[in-house]
Amino acid sequence: MINYAFEYLKLKLKDIINYPIISYKNKDLKIKLCDKDVVSNLTVIHYGRKHFNPFVFEPIRNINYFKPDGGLWTSPVNSNYGWIDWNKQYKWIFCDPSKSFKLRFYDNAKIMIIDGKEDLNELPTYIVKEFGHKEVEYVDFKRLSKVCDAIWLTEKGVEETESSYPVSLSGWDCETILIMNKNCCYQI
């Protein structure tokens, strides 16, 4: 887990090398969206701030990594293994509930579900040739952000995709909802 965090920090601290993209895959999107009743009843939590500030929301961008840069990382409040649980288990950082906020989604929000390897395999990807490495395939999160408002990686999805090949969501350590559109939700 720490190796993934270290690799991500290396990417953030230095200029990100734009390795040449060799090809794109899964050009026709076949994403699975949440039912409207699930969307209207879904509440998520974000730790680290008391208020949702759309003005500091950064758009999604691909960074040649298993996760994108930008967006807002949350977990469902009723998750069996969300961000707060992962942090308790690994003593990563202290999640203070007094420094958190909850969000609900508007009824028309498009929340894509990744509930397993099959769902991951349907996502658009791109392949890069990294210096000194073989070709690496990553999810094209920027493209996904144009067709859906959030990505929900379920607990089952975490288990099935963290070490999958050729595409992986390694480093998505717990049930996660990555909000990619700041206008799809509101603070409660």
Name residue 178's beta-bridge partners: 73, 151
Which tens digit of pLDDT belongs to each residue from 4-52?
555 555 554 434 455 566 667 766 777 899 999 999 999 999 999 999 9
Note if the bond before 166 is cis, omega within 30 degrees: yes
How far is CA 117 from each of CA 63, 122, 126, 152, 155, rounded to the nearest angstrom? 22, 9, 17, 13, 12
Residue 13 maps to a domain: no
- How far apart are alpha carbons 127 and 95 in whole angstroms? 35
Domain annotation covers residue 87: yes
pLDDT in tens, 58-112: 999 998 889 999 999 999 999 999 998 888 888 777 778 889 999 999 999 999 9
Number of domains into which the chain is organized: 1
| Range(s) of the domain holding residue 79 | 26-187
Beginning with the edge strand found earlier in the chain, give each strand of the sheet holding 21-25 in spatial order.
21-25, 125-129, 135-139
Write down the pTM of the prediction: 0.84
Residue 140 lies inside a defined structural domain of this protein: yes
